[in-house]
A = this chain, B = another copy of it.
Amino acid sequence: MQVTVWNEGLHERAKPEMAEIYPDGIHGAIADALRSALPDAEVRTGTLDEPHQGLPPELLDRTEVLLWWGHRAHEQVEDGLVDRIAARVLGGMGLLVLHSGHYSKVFRKLMGTTCSLAWRNEGERELVWTTDPSHPIAAGVDQPIVIGEQEMYGEPFDIPSPDEVVFISSFAGGEVFRSGVTFRRGRGRVFYFSPGDEAYPVYRHPQIQRVLANAVRWAMPGAPVVAPARAVKTPRADWHD
């Protein structure tokens, strides 16, 4: 299992209090959690300020599941990189889009919608309810997951109708949000999971870590990742033979 955790990595530098929560960055915290939960996985990280914006071709080309966290720098991610990521998803790579990644170029490109939502950042309690208890992403997960402080994300969430709704959250302020949803795009599996603002230690929450590990397993391609499909002219066959 070749897993790469990408994080724009800007908040960590700008906000000293964040360095306390995530001394190795959001990507470091998630990568550590995945390494513990998935001993068979090779987990790498990438950040925006690294060469090739953290995803050089040789890394992307061997990644089987990519996790994506971004917030402030969505527009800085180069279109060419976004195209390569999307192409790899369509060819079979799994993609986990986290929290404010709902507005990333790659998620909007794969969804085709605005991916807009309602929001408010006041450190509210979030409850993450499982709506599909037999889904592998929900295996062993508390009902509900209780997150003490979190940014509120609320409906309407402007996404295509998901293939599966695994989690729905409520917030102390009363809002609701489809917080865990799946989509197949091409040959790839996409999971969007909203818990995880940079201001709260959400990715240190054991239950959130469990969901991410479950989702990596779920998103693994069942076959080698291929080039995305293209229209093929086919000869006429005589199927009677």
Q: Shortest beta-carbon distance, A106 to chain B, in Å? A: 10
- How many chain A residues touch B (CB < 8 A): the figure is 72
Given A120-B233, A160-B184, A161-B164, A134 and B103 contact (CB-CB distance below 8 Å) = no
Task: Please tell me if A129 contacts chain B, counting CB pairs below 8 Å.
Answer: yes
Task: Please tell me if A57 contacts chain B, counting CB pairs below 8 Å.
Answer: no
CB-CB contacts of A202-241 with B at 8 A, as 1s and 0s?
A: 0000000000000000000111000011111111110110
Kindly list chain B residues whose C-beta atoms are within 8 Å of the C-beta of A186.
Answer: 113-114, 134, 158
The A contact surface, by secondary structure, is loop
Task: Please tell me if A101 contacts chain B, counting CB pairs below 8 Å.
Answer: no
Q: Which 10 A-B pairs have the closest CB atoms?
A: A134-B187, A170-B170, A116-B229, A110-B112, A158-B229, A116-B231, A112-B112, A168-B176, A131-B155, A170-B176
